[in-house]
Structure 1
Amino acid sequence: MVRRTKADALATKAELLDAAERLFSAQGVANTSMMQVAEAAGVTRGAIYHHFENKLDLIDSMMERVRLPFDQMIEQTSQRLVDNPLALLRARLLNIVQLLDRDPHTQSVLTILFHKCEYVDDTLPIHFRHLRARNTCIDECTLVLQQAIERGQLPASANPAQIVVSMVAMIDGIIYNWLLDPEYFNIIEAAEHALDTFIAGLQQRTSA
C-alpha cells in the first residue's frame, strides 16, 4: 500500500476545491453534488468525504481559501496608511476589488455567492457566513471612518455608519455587475472613480 503524505492530502484538497469552484460557477450550488465534484477532481467518493463533511463544509473551505490573502492585504495597507484614516478606508475597499481582479479563486467564490447560490434551506448557512463577513467589514470600516472624523478629515456631523454602508453598497454593486461580464468594463478603474467621487463629495461638505 502506498502511504499518502501530508503534501498529497493537501494537493487532493486543493484539486477538490478547484473542481468545486468550476462546477458551482458553471451550474450552481444546488445543481452540483458532492459526487460530481469528486469525479471532476478525479478522486473517489471516500476521498471527498475525507476532506469535507458535506457541501457546506466544502463551500466554507472555499471561502476560507480566499480570506487569507485578503487579510494579508488589509494588514499591509493598515501599516502603510495608519496615519491617514480616509485613505486607509479607500484602500481597504479597493483591496477587495484588486484581489478579485487578480485572483481566480476570489472571482470564482464571489461569482458563486452573488450569482450561483440560492440561499434557501440547506444553503442558508452560506448566506449567514457571507453576511457575517460583510458586517465585519462594515464594522471595521466604520471605526476607520470615525478616526477620519476625529482627525478633521470629515465633518463632525457625518454619520460614519451610514457613510460606510453607502460605500460598501456601491462597491458591492460594481462587483455584482462586473461578475456578470468581466470584459465589459475595468473593475479597478470603476471602483477608484466611484470611491474618489464619493469621498470628494464628503470632503466638499467639510470645507463648505
Structure 2
Amino acid sequence: MDQANKQVYFEHAQENLRGAIEIIKQTLQKTKDSVSKLQKSLHTFNEDDKIVQSKLLTLDKEKLEGLELMQNSPYFNKCELNDETIYIGKFSLSDEHIYSWISPIAKIRFEHPGQVSYTLPDKTEKQSTMARKDQYMIVDGKIIYLSTESLDQPRELIYQDYFSNQKKNFVLPEIVAQMEKAQDSVIRASYKNSLLISGPAGSGKTTLALHRVAYLLQSP
C-alpha cells in the first residue's frame, strides 16, 4: 500500500472511530437517564418487583461504568469476517459489534487472515473466513497506531504517531490490548485445574495472573 492509500485508510479508520465514540456517548447518556429514573422510582415498587428493579439498576450501573471507560478508547482490534465485521475492546457494546476481550469470539484476533473458528453462546463452533485484521492503539479518542493485514497482503504499518508527542499524557497500553496468543491461552485456561505461571523476574507473571482472575470473574 503506497503512502497516499495509507493516508486514506487511516482517515477512514479515524472517521469510523469518531462515529463509534459518538454512539457510545449517546448510549452513555441514555444509560445515565435510565439509572437516574430507576433510582428515583425504586421505592414505588412492591418487594418482589423491587428485587427485579434493583438487579436492573445494578446491571445499568455496570454498563455505565464500562461505557465511561471505553468512550475514549472503544477497541483495539477490528476483524472483517465473511458475514460481519467485529471490533474487540475491553468492554462490550454488542449493538455496535464491539465485543469484550473475554468473549469467545475475541480469540480470533490472534489468528492470521484466513479460516477461523470461534465458540457461539450455545457452545457450538462456527467457522468463518477473516479477510482482514486491523490493530489499533487509541488514546483520548485518536488513533496513534494502526496496522493491517489481509488475505492477500502481509501485515504492514499504516500509521504511527511519534510517542515523543505523547509524553505528557501517554499511558502504556494494558496487557489486554497487547497480549499475544500464548498469554491469551493462559488467561482462558480451564478453571478446573491448578495453573502454574513461571518465568523470570519482571516477565509479567503477576499481571498475567491478575488478568486471569479478571477473566474468570467476568466470563460466563
TM-score range, shorter chain: under 0.3
Bigger proportion of residues as helix: 1
Question: Which fold has the larger relative contact order, with Cα–Cα distance below 8 Å and residues 6 or more apart in sequence?
Answer: 1
Bigger proportion of residues as strand: 2
Query: TM-score, normalised to structure 1's length?
Result: 0.28
Query: TM-score, normalised to structure 2's length?
Result: 0.27
